[in-house]
Chain A
Amino acid sequence: MESPKQHPAPFSRELAGNIEDFITKLKRGELQGSKTVALKTANLMRHVVADSRWNDAESLKTIIKGVGKRILKAQPRELLITNIVCRVLHIVNEAAPRIEDACISGSASSTPASRGTETPAMGLGSTMSSRNLADQLAASLAREESNLYHIKTDIISEINEYIADMESTEEEIATSALDHIHSNEIILTCGRSRTVENFLLTAARKRKFQVIVTECAPTYDGHEQAKALTCPNIEVTVIPDSAVFAIMSRVNKVILGTHAVMANGGLIAASGTHMIAAAARHHSTQVMVCAGLYKHAPSFPFDDDRLNALMAPDAILPYGDGHLVDAVDVVSPRYDYVPPDLVDILVDDNGGHLPSYVYRLLQEIYDNAKDLAWNIPDQ
């Protein structure tokens, strides 16, 4: 039993309750869909920043990491939790020099620490002198308003902006739809993805084309997707998963949604995606993946099993056939890992990228590898 007393973090009763509630929901698997989890986590993080007591950046980061670890423990397979927590840490890190300054002027109100005079460390990957300069500049600019209260509101509004970006990410991605979809094309997609739905419907405002949806047994998400795509300009066909290879020779383009994108450009996507990507490669069909920036995970897929989850076997072998349970093993994995060499292009809020460019994006949205070490499972 995990009691809040075990974590002496300075939380209000309401916040502590919120965290517990979120953890319970995660454990029960009530939160499904990458966006729901991401938004819920971001909202919780905003609450943590707003409602906990801290005086410097380090203590705030420790609090965030502590909460992050607890949530992650509830659902260790959920990559998006890590993404959001890392992003929030990045936001705090950016504000850190201002927090420091506020503390210095608050306590001693004397000369600020002379950081500029030390020699830069030698070797690759050390802090750049230009970065130092920028830090100093930012710090001196912020000195006027060096008040912890202001900084707190700043961080919160940054997180708000991040949440707003996340909410509008489908529309942002869809703006590049017309660059990728042409008239009379035959497009294959798999399972249910709101990002892909938005993408295709946006293109359908101007162009007519045909979409083939695989039904994605045993969840049959494809049926939902097909219903969502009905519009005058799209001719939708639903096919069983087993027909993918046969129909691939007719397809112009494969457009996929994904649960998460790994640091090497590989995908964690609905099970069945790997097969589609492999079939597409065989026929030299282009594979395009639509994924918001928040789906980019800063870790490498070194442990395939840890990233997957098993679903209830009922959909494959109904519980009515209970007498068979002793004789048959039923396995129903939720995700597939698709290696990056099967993906041709990744489309996010800013446009298309190659899978090999993902590491560069990660450097922009998160901090460097050393700060991410908190989620590496090391015994």
Chain B
Amino acid sequence: MTNTGSESSQFDIVKHYNDLVETDSSISSPVAAVGSLVKMIEKQNATTMLEFMMIVRTACDKLKKATNNSISLSAGCDVFLQQMSRLSNAQSVDECRRALIRAGSDFVQGAGKCRDNVAEFGSPFVRDDQTILVHSYSRVIMGLLRRAVKQNKRFRVYITESRPDQSGLQAAEELNRLGVPCEVILDAAVGYIIEKVDLILVGAEGVVESGGLINKIGTYQLAIIAKAAKKPFYALAESFKFVRLYPLSQYDLPTFRSDLLSFKDKADAKIDWQAELSRSNPMLDYTPPDLITLMFTDLGVMTPSGVSDELIKFYLD
């Protein structure tokens, strides 16, 4: 069976994943991961169940290792693996493969619908004459605001600049095109502006088992400020971003590296602080559930504690 092994290794799953993400800017990484895995099992021809499962598992590991934002990607891989173990009592490998390909393709096609559902459940929370604070760029938030605009609601949006990649500027551009009055604010100006804000919307890289949130750096401090100012803090996430993690602190995330902000010995060299800044800073942070008012998901509006319920229902089935 060395033959099949080499054949599957010819298909570069990481490359396929990267191509998917690059060509389609609206695809989110868990969906791209499932899409790549489907492509991968189409290409290989394992003859035993064990071999088949092994190949899928190695492919998942490879994907997780190869990309830097492994959190939401691993959510996609987990959903796929769970589906595989559900189908593992199939008659033959071929039957299992066919069923898995069908389920996977359905999942990829249905993913766009998820975002619409989030928008549907969340849009009643946006009302006329509100001021909304948005952190960073998130496709699902854009979907919700677009729907609110379509419902002829008039509101204003403050967007955080969201260093270091300044993704807030992209969000501002898009909202401007929609005709929504918006301002980009410095990440450091959140405390200054919070009094004028009615509600805060953030997206999610991943939603963890505690009901907490993993998202673009700055979300945690935003949530703390929102709590202090008693403003509602809503998180938006599609259900395929629910991940099986239970971080207890910022440093439990899989993206944690020991060289992040770690007081390296820089005594002898002349330091380029600007370059050092982006190199040694984290890109994601963890927001604990007690700072989140509600989550808007495609399964409905839920409290953070509802998330673990859904996860248990899915993974213990």
B43 contacts chain A at the CB level, 8 A cutoff: no
> Which residue of B is nearest A340, CB measured?
B303
> Which residue of A is nearest B99, CB measured?
A119
Interface flags for B283-310 (1: CB within 8 Å of A; 0: not) read 0000000000110001111110110011
Instruction: Say yes or no: A123 contacts B110, CB within 8 Å.
Output: yes
A206 CB to nearest B CB, Å: 35
Instruction: Say yes or no: A376 contacts B124, CB within 8 Å.
Output: yes
- Contacts known (A359-B302, A369-B121, A376-B124); A123 close to B79, Cβ less than 8 A: yes
> Which residue of B is nearest A125, CB measured?
B299
Residues in B neighbouring A243, C-beta threshold 8 A: none
Contact of A378 among B106, B151, B305 (CB under 8 A): B151
Looking at chain B's contact residues, the main secondary structure is: helix
B137 CB to nearest A CB, Å: 24
Residues in B neighbouring A369, C-beta threshold 8 A: 121, 299-301
B102 contacts chain A at the CB level, 8 A cutoff: yes
B134 CB to nearest A CB, Å: 17
Chain B: residues with Cβ within 8 Å of the partner, total of 40
Instruction: Say yes or no: B317 contacts A125, CB within 8 Å.
Output: no
A374-B298 Cα distance, complex, nearest whole Å: 16
- Contacts known (A128-B317, A264-B303, A370-B300); A120 close to B124, Cβ less than 8 A: no
Instruction: Say yes or no: A302 contacts B107, CB within 8 Å.
Output: no
Instruction: Say yes or no: B309 contacts A123, CB within 8 Å.
Output: no
Instruction: Say yes or no: B303 contacts A125, CB within 8 Å.
Output: no
Within 8 A of B (CB), among A351-379: 356-357, 359-360, 363, 368-370, 373, 376-379
- Contacts known (A264-B303, A378-B151); A122 close to B104, Cβ less than 8 A: yes
B240 contacts chain A at the CB level, 8 A cutoff: yes
Within 8 A of A (CB), among B108-159: 110, 120-121, 123-125, 127, 151-152
Which residues of chain A have a CB within 8 Å of any CB of chain B? 119-125, 128-130, 263-265, 300, 302-303, 356-357, 359-360, 363, 368-370, 373, 376-379
Which residues of chain B have a CB within 8 Å of any CB of chain A? 34, 79-80, 83, 86-87, 99, 102-104, 106-107, 110, 120-121, 123-125, 127, 151-152, 239-240, 242, 293-294, 298-303, 305-306, 309-311, 313-314, 317
**Known A128-B313, A130-B317, A370-B300; further 14 A-B contacts with Cβ < 8 A:** A122-B107, A123-B110, A123-B240, A124-B313, A125-B239, A125-B298, A129-B86, A359-B305, A368-B299, A369-B300, A373-B120, A376-B120, A376-B124, A378-B120
